[in-house]
Chain A
Amino acid sequence: MSKLLIENVSRTFAGVRGGQPVRALMPIDLAVAANDFITILGPSGCGKSTLLRIVAGLEAPSEGRVLLDGKAVNRPGPDRGMVFQSYTLFPWLTVAENIAFGLRERGMAEKERDGIVASYVDLVGLKGFENHWPKQLSGGMQQRTAIARALANDPEILLLDEPFGALDNQTRGLMQELLLGIWERRKKTVLFVTHDIEEAIFMASRVIVMTARPGRIKSDVAVGLPHPRHYTLKTSPEFSALKARLTEDIRVEAMRTAQAA
Chain B
Amino acid sequence: MRPLHPVPPGIRTVLGISFFVLFVAFWAWITLGGHVNRIFLADPLSMLRDGWRLLVEDRFWLDILITIWRVFGGFLLASVVAVPLGIAMGAWKPVEAFLEPFVSFARYLPASAFIPLLILWAGIGELEKLLVIFVGSVFQIILIIAVKVGSTRRDLVEAAYTLGSTNNGIVSRVIMPANAPEIAETLRLVLGWAWTYVIVAELIGSSSGIGYMIINSQSRLATGQIIFGIIVIGLIGLLSDFAFKAFNRWLFPWSLA
- The interface of chain A, by Cβ under 8 A from chain B, is 56-58, 75-78, 80-82, 84, 86, 88, 90-93, 101-102, 105-106, 133-135, 146, 149-150, 153, 159
Contacts and interface: CB of A to CB of B under 8 A. Distances in A.
A224 to B, nearest CB: 32
Contacts of B162: 56-58, 76-78, 80-82, 150, 159
B160 A101 contact: yes
Contacts of B255: 91-92
6 contacts: A81-B162, A92-B254, A93-B177, A101-B163, A150-B162, A150-B163
A86 B154 CA distance: 11
B165 A105 contact: yes
Interface size class of B (residues with CB under 8 A): 20 to 34
SS of A interface (majority): loop
A91 B164 contact: no
B126 interface: no
Contacts of A77: 161-162, 164
A150 B252 CA distance: 25
Contacts of B177: 90, 92-93
Nearest to B165: A105
Nearest to A106: B164
Lowest 4 A-B CB distances belong to which pairs?
Answer: A78-B164, A102-B163, A76-B161, A82-B162
Contacts of A146: 159
A150 B169 CA distance: 17
Contacts of B253: 133
Given A76-B158, A88-B156, A153 B254 contact: no
Contacts of B163: 78, 81, 101-102, 105, 149-150, 153
Given A56-B162, A82-B159, 19 more contacts: A58-B158, A58-B161, A76-B158, A76-B161, A80-B162, A81-B162, A82-B158, A86-B155, A88-B159, A90-B174, A91-B255, A92-B177, A92-B178, A92-B255, A105-B163, A105-B169, A133-B253, A149-B163, A150-B162
B180 interface: yes
Residue among B155, B156, B159, B253 facing the most chain A CB atoms (10 A cut-off): B159
A194 to B, nearest CB: 18
B12 interface: no
Interface in B137-163: 155-156, 158-163
Contact of A102 (B164, B166, B254): B164
A88 B160 CA distance: 9
B252 A92 contact: yes
A146 B156 CA distance: 12
Nearest to B180: A92
A86 B156 CA distance: 10
Interface in B161-192: 161-166, 169, 173-174, 177-178, 180
Contacts of A58: 158, 161-162
A116 B161 CA distance: 20
Contacts of B159: 82, 84, 88, 90, 146
Given A82-B159, A92-B180, A133 B254 contact: yes
Nearest to A85: B155
Contacts of A92: 177-178, 180, 252, 254-255
A84 B164 contact: no
A131 B186 CA distance: 28
Interface string B240-257: 000000000000111100
A5 B164 CA distance: 21
Given A105-B169, A135-B254, A90 B164 contact: no
A82 to B, nearest CB: 4
A153 to B, nearest CB: 6
Contacts of B166: 105
Contacts of A76: 158, 161-162
A188 B24 CA distance: 72
Given A78-B163, A90-B174, A84 B254 contact: no
A84 B163 CA distance: 12
A106 B164 CA distance: 7
A84 B254 CA distance: 21
Nearest to A56: B162
Nearest to B173: A105
Contacts of A135: 254
B254 A91 contact: yes
